Amino acid sequence: MAKNTDIQLRQKMIYSIFVRNHTPEGTFAAVEKDLDRIQALGTDIIWFMPIQPVGEKERKGKDGSPYAIRDYRKTDPAMGTLEDFKHLTDAIHERGMKCILDVVYNHTSPDSWLIENHPEYFKRDAKGNTVTLVADWTDIADLDYTNKELWRYQIDTLKMWAGMVDGFRCDVASRIPVEFWLQAREEVETVRPGAIWLAESVEKHFIKHIRSQKGYAATDSQLYEAFDICYDYDIWPSFLRYIKNDGSLLSLYLEEIEKQEGTYPENYVKLRYLENHDQDRIASHCAEKASVLNLTAFAFLLKGTAFVYAGQEAMLSHRPSIFEKDTTDFSQGVDISDFIARCARIKKTELKADGIYSLFADDEHDVAVTLCEMEKESVLGIFSLKGYRGSVQACLQDGTYQNLLNGETVVVQNGSFQHDGTPVIVKILGDRIIKPDRSN
User: What is the per-residue pLDDT across 264-303, written as a single tens digit (0 to 9) for each?
Assistant: 999 999 999 999 999 999 999 998 999 999 999 999 999 9
DSSP letter for 319, please.
Answer: P
Among 57-66, 146-155, 300-309, 392-401, the minimum mean pLDDT is found in 392-401
Q: Is the pLDDT of residue 4 over 90?
A: no
Average pLDDT score over the chain:
95
Give CA 235 to chain center in angstroms.
13
Q: Are 245 and 202 in contact (CB under 8 A)?
A: no
For the segment 76-87, the average pLDDT, to the nearest whole number, is 98
Cα 368-371-373 angle, rounded to 5 deg: 175
DSSP H helices, 263-321, are 289-300
Residue 239's pLDDT is: 96
| CA gap 119, 114 in Å, rounded | 7
Residue 438's pLDDT is: 59
Q: Are strands 305-309 and 269-272 parallel, antiparallel or unpaired?
A: parallel
Q: Assign 3-state DSSP to the chain and report helix, strand, coil percentages, each to 5.
A: 30, 20, 50
Look at residues 151, 353, 337 and name the one whose alpha carbon lies nearest to residue 268. Answer: 353
3-class DSSP state of 70:
coil
pTM for this entry? 0.96
Q: Model confidence at 439, in pLDDT bands (50, 70, 90)?
A: very low
